[in-house]
Structure 1
Amino acid sequence: MASSASAPESFDRAEACVDAVLDKVGKRIVLGLPLGIGKANHFANALYARAEADPEISLTIFTALTLERPSGSSELERRFVQPLLDRLYQDYQDLAYNQARRKGLLPENVEVCEFFMQPGSLLNSSSAQQSYVSSNYTHVPRDLLDRGVNVVAQMVTPALDDSGDFSLSCNPDLTLPLLALARQRRYGPITMVGEVNSRLPFVGGDARVPASMFDVVLSGPVFNEDIFPAPNPPVRLTDYALGFHIAGLVKDGGTLQVGIGALGDAVCHVLGLRQNKNLDFVDILEALQTDKPSSLCKLPLETGRFELGIYGASEMVPEGFFHLRDAGVLVRKVYPDTALQQLLNEGRISETVDERMLLALRDIGRIQSPLSEQDTRFLQTMGIVDPSYSWRGHRFLDEGGEMEECDLHSSKGREKLLGDCAGKSLKLGTWLHGGFYLGSTRLYQRLRNMPTGDMAGINMTAIDFINDMLKNPDLKIAQRQHARFVNSAMMVTLNGAVISDGLEDGRVVSGVGGQYNFVAQAHELPGGRSIIALPSTRHSGGRVCSNIVWEYPHCTIPRHLRDMVVTEYGVADLRGKSDRDVIVAMLCIADSRFQQELLEKAQDAGKVETGYCIPDAFTNNTPERIQAVFTQGHRPGLLPYYPLGTDLTEEEGRLAVALKAVKEEGRKIWELWPILRQGLKACKSDSPEFRSVHACLDRMGFDRSDNFEHRLEAYVVAGALVRFYDERRPLGETAENITSGAAHTQSGSAAG
């Protein structure tokens, strides 16, 4: 690691940077790359090319979530994807090691290990499957050091002032704890490479680091590229049903963690409805829970508006958190002092600095009277004591050179101590702690343009602070009141074991990531709950399969950590229940098409009594019932396909909904015949009701189709648009809407 007094070497060519690194560490390199968007792609590609050309170089790359530009696995998908590549990903440099890995062409002197893979993207890559490392997110720094990491290469962004500092921005998550653990172990040197991209948003807090952290910096215009976007997926009614059930578990004054994807978008949108369209929220939630006995979930239903607000503590910072910020929900701040936080929790003080705050801190023994030097430093850091005072042996020396006693006993003394701080808000309040972020172009633009006050409340920090309780548990207990950790799963067994990372045959879909951390943390936090969410069914090869299963060869979360499981049909509170009661609760939130088969397996195993019958209230768990709830009256208008907006155009947004549905329906022509028949009618019609369908077909290039196979595909797409796209549901803001809106605002300003 670079010396605190030294400036990093600077290069404007990746190849020259590789030369410098090889000079420092030799030809055996264990390279740590951040997960997601924070990788130094130019440096990594140049280093990989060097290793590919020189077999004497031994290169191990240890990373996670290697992103790549989308590609289509079918003709339909390729037609959809190609314009996106030209518009959203034209600047992005794919990582060469990933392309070689996909093709089975990694040289023998290069190994790529990931602890979390882009979900489902590498199921058929033998190299990726064999080199996968199953590890908790918080254990990765340890694993990196054990493997001998000697180079870390990370994308950074420069400070906007003249300090020369950098921000780790999107990825302080592993870099900070890795370097801290290396210092603790007195580990050998780690060469730090910073690839500077001024398009990366500057985030302060713990992510702000001095330039001296780096040994080598790679900078120049060629590295200032747009950040990899992950367009928001369409949110379907199943996702919204999950979102309503989860939103009814979130307590005012509490803490929230959610992830990226349709589920996270749905949860955040529905929490916004709870705040700003509360009657509609309550109406829909009650409709989803009609005739359901409250015994299935012990927690009281939370339906009120957020008066205290909630605080975000999430390894992944989803775009939906900023939606909640706008909605007035994500507004609860926490502070980096246990005693102060406890006083706030108890309502003995407010966030406004006054004499009562000084007295309360004194009364609980957090500060002394007269104040010590340490007390003074703490109070000034938090914005409680006037910064103009300088402590001098139980006295203050003010700017005028006068001495004041550091005594809290008199009102006059307290007033003098507060000075200009009186009536102002406490400093260092944080409404969001995060480990990394990844999202749409809109998210990155928002972070770049965020007002200073809002940005000051975000602290991107080390993953061990977010994901576990080992460091400063008392502070985390004080901050993380009524925590709700929401994570998705692939399947859950009837006895409450969770499968989130792999298939039955052992192939890895994604990874453990931080899910285990959050589940364990929920059990340790007073009032904390882990919420595992999943649709009750999935489509596979044109067939409907249950995501609630009797057994599975492995699990991600063992049953002894079972807590709360949510499907579109309700909430099963499993904590502390017997195996029999857990199984019964899980049956009650399973799809009714599979309930009897699952029940019989439990009865055959002697886990449920032979005479048990599923209560009538839970025997209508069908997609039709969910559809009926959401299609009544004005409800569809509350449930946009893209509640947070989208990088897609209007036609692309519609097509994404339709193509996803087609993929689930099947691939054989007889499976798609009903869709194809509807599409044929739409394609042959000049009716205005099909105008949007024709616009979508033009976007897919079907206006130029000149053979029978392409015409069949066009009919399938048209039929899917007619069958699966609900015109009553708003699309949500698209890239075109946002651009035209911005242009309108600018022209309006100019006219004004």
Structure 2
Amino acid sequence: MNSNWPADLVQPGDLVVVAQGVGEPTPLLNQLLAACPLDVEIFVGLSHSDALTGSAPQRPLVSFGAMGPLGKLAAAGNAEVIPCNFDDLPRLLPLRAQSNLVLVMQVSPADSQGCYGLGMAMDYTYELIAKARTVVAEVNAAMPTTSAPTLPASTFDAVIHTSRPLPIVPTPALDDSHHGIARHILPLIPDGGTIQLGIGAVPSAIGKALTARRGLRVRSTLAGDWLLDLHRAGSLCGEPGSVIISEAAGSEELYEHIATSNAWVRPVAEVIGPAAVASIPRLFAVNSALQVDLTGQVNAEEIDSRYLGATGGQADFLRAAQRSPGGASIVALAATANSGRTSRIVRQLQPPTVTTPRTSIDFVATEFGVVDLRGRTLRERAEAMIAIAAPQHRSSLYEQNGQQR
């Protein structure tokens, strides 16, 4: 293995897949963006660094969504989206690469056996290792060792050594609408339930509300500081295997907690794969949305022809929660956008992007209430959805739906 980036490891026509989130090897990504030939394609995911916030890359990037800085790049035509479920990337990316797959990832320093840990991020790159022609790693001395799987030195064709802090992902400012949504969701989740959240304002508010619960378990591909809130409040079960995640994004304290607690950092297939979720009782999956229509269809991807989100794991988690004994699928969103001018409860999705079908939704919550869509007809669903829209938009929704109030 080498200590510097060898230019000949990336060849014309390659697809270079970069690990995401806290596991992003940012120094390597910066080198790729600056020096790779134009006929090399770069796949990136959710980014918490400044690597994608500078000048536009010389070639369009590819991703499974347009989260964070990718939203602006996609709007400018500098990022393209492959619509897919998050756990399907290990199948789809080798098909795109056509045997020209290069992986770039970040690992923690070698242990006494000479193996490198995957720290805080178990994403699609782990499951692509066997299919890659070349694997390059950033060995970050500041990446904590966790319960994540380790990789022998022979996995890597090259490494670079760094020592840099993990990115801090602060909890967004929470307002009355976020806390209102959380208050409506709290009664749906009992003591001893298993929860799936993400990161962002709504999951953070829900996490704070759930500190009133006890014996909670966690099964989530991504965890934020809400996990730390639940731990500090004594709300978590505490048994080994009761907290299973693939990635974390938050404070230094969160990273330290995951490294020193019983939390398991596991591959995506072990968190949300069919075999993994089949035996989870009382799973409550809570996912955000950009829009929900009057029948319960969810759009978490596009608004006004701008790609802003991703399919991610939403559809998989919501369906898994429906099949879980005693569990439920929940969609949470603020009722309006643009300072209340635009309703996010809509007659029909515009554009007609269905991230999750109406058949996979049990509950929808806004700051104005929560509705149970289970067993309801289309007419009954519409009436229920209008009732949790912002008051100033309800008359318009009734008129659009051809209903009398």
Report the residue type matching 1:196 in the other structure.
V
- Is 1:550–2:347 an aligned residue pair? yes
Report the residue type matching 2:120 in the other structure.
C
Report the residue type matching 2:94 in the other structure.
L
Shift of 1:236: 0.9
Partner of 1:99: helix, strand, or coil? coil
Shift of 1:508: 0.4
Distance in 2 (CA, whole Å) between partners of 1:323 and 1:66 is 23
Partner of 1:512: 311
Q: Deviations over 1:580-638 (max 9, x none)?
A: 11111112212221112211222x2xxx5x4xx4xxxxxxxxxxxxxxxxxxxxxxxxx
Of Structure 1 and Structure 2, which has the larger fraction of its residues in strand? Answer: 2
Partner of 1:458: 263
Select the residue among 116, 119, 131 that pairs with 1:169. Answer: 119
Distance in 2 (CA, whole Å) between partners of 1:121 and 1:460 is 31
Distance in 2 (CA, whole Å) between partners of 1:111 and 1:233 is 29
Equivalent pair of 2:216/2:236 in contact (CA under 8 Å): yes
Select the residue among 443, 446, 455 that pairs with 2:254. Answer: 443
Partner of 2:28: 43
The equivalences for 1:273-422 within 5 A come to: 274-275=212-213, 306=214, 309-331=215-237, 333=239
Partner of 2:103: 152
Equivalent pair of 1:483/1:528 in contact (CA under 8 Å): yes
Give structure 1 regions of 4+ aligned residues with deviation exceeding 6 angstroms: none
Shift of 1:548: 0.9
Distance in 1 (CA, whole Å) between partners of 2:21 and 2:147 is 19
Distance in 1 (CA, whole Å) between partners of 2:155 and 2:36 is 26
Shift of 1:260: 0.7
Partner of 1:252: 191
Equivalent pair of 1:314/1:433 in contact (CA under 8 Å): yes
Select the residue among 211, 216, 236 that pairs with 2:158. Answer: 216
- Residue ranges of structure 1 left out of the alignment (5+ in a row): 1-8, 70-93, 276-305, 334-428, 614-752
Shift of 1:521: 1.6
Shift of 1:111: 4.1
- Is 1:140–2:89 an aligned residue pair? yes
Select the residue among 6, 25, 40 that pairs with 1:18. Answer: 6
Equivalent pair of 1:491/1:499 in contact (CA under 8 Å): yes
Equivalent pair of 2:366/2:389 in contact (CA under 8 Å): yes
Structure whose CA Rg is larger: 1
The equivalences for 1:471-550 within 5 A come to: 472=275, 476-478=277-279, 480-505=280-305, 507-539=306-338, 544-550=341-347
* TM-score, structure 2 normalization: 0.91
* TM-score, structure 1 normalization: 0.51
Shift of 1:493: 0.8
Distance in 1 (CA, whole Å) between partners of 2:361 and 2:152 is 43
The equivalences for 1:591-630 within 5 A come to: 591-602=390-401, 604=402, 608=403, 610=404, 613=405
Shift of 1:562: 2.7
Select the residue among 372, 382, 388 that pairs with 1:589. Answer: 388
Partner of 2:45: 64
Q: Deviations over 1:667-715 (max 9, x none)?
A: xxxxxxxxxxxxxxxxxxxxxxxxxxxxxxxxxxxxxxxxxxxxxxxxx
Of Structure 1 and Structure 2, which has the larger fraction of its residues in helix? Answer: 1
Partner of 1:575: 374
Select the residue among 125, 146, 156 that pairs with 2:76. Answer: 125
Partner of 2:167: 228
Report the residue type matching 2:173 in the other structure.
P
Shift of 1:146: 0.4
Q: Deviations over 1:37-61 (max 9, x none)?
A: 3122222333443325xx6xx3111
Distance in 2 (CA, whole Å) between partners of 1:121 and 1:46 is 21
- Is 1:271–2:177 an aligned residue pair? no
Distance in 1 (CA, whole Å) between partners of 2:210 and 2:357 is 29
Q: Deviations over 1:376-427 (max 9, x none)?
A: xxxxxxxxxxxxxxxxxxxxxxxxxxxxxxxxxxxxxxxxxxxxxxxxxxxx
Q: Deviations over 1:279-310 (max 9, x none)?
A: xxxxxxxxxxxxxxxxxxxxxxxxxxx2xx12
Shift of 1:177: 2.4
Report the residue type matching 1:462 in the other structure.
P
Q: Are the structure 2 counterparts of residues 574 and 271 from structure 1 closer, same or farther at C-alpha, using a change threshold of 3 Å?
A: same
Partner of 2:303: helix, strand, or coil? coil
Partner of 1:244: helix, strand, or coil? helix
Distance in 1 (CA, whole Å) between partners of 2:34 and 2:337 is 41
Partner of 1:203: 146
Partner of 1:147: helix, strand, or coil? helix
Distance in 2 (CA, whole Å) between partners of 1:317 and 1:125 is 30
Partner of 2:34: helix, strand, or coil? helix
Q: Deviations over 1:325-366 (max 9, x none)?
A: 222212154xxxxxxxxxxxxxxxxxxxxxxxxxxxxxxxxx
Equivalent pair of 1:59/1:111 in contact (CA under 8 Å): no
Partner of 1:99: 54
Distance in 2 (CA, whole Å) between partners of 1:271 and 1:447 is 19
Distance in 2 (CA, whole Å) between partners of 1:532 and 1:122 is 27
Report the residue type matching 1:523 in the other structure.
Q
Q: Deviations over 1:528-553 (max 9, x none)?
A: 2111001112225xx62211111123
Report the residue type matching 2:243 in the other structure.
L
> Please, what is the CA RMSD of the aligned residues?
2.2
Distance in 2 (CA, whole Å) between partners of 1:18 and 1:465 is 34
- Residue ranges of structure 2 left out of the alignment (5+ in a row): none
Report the residue type matching 1:468 in the other structure.
G
Q: Deviations over 1:7-34 (max 9, x none)?
A: xx131x3xxx223524xxx443211111
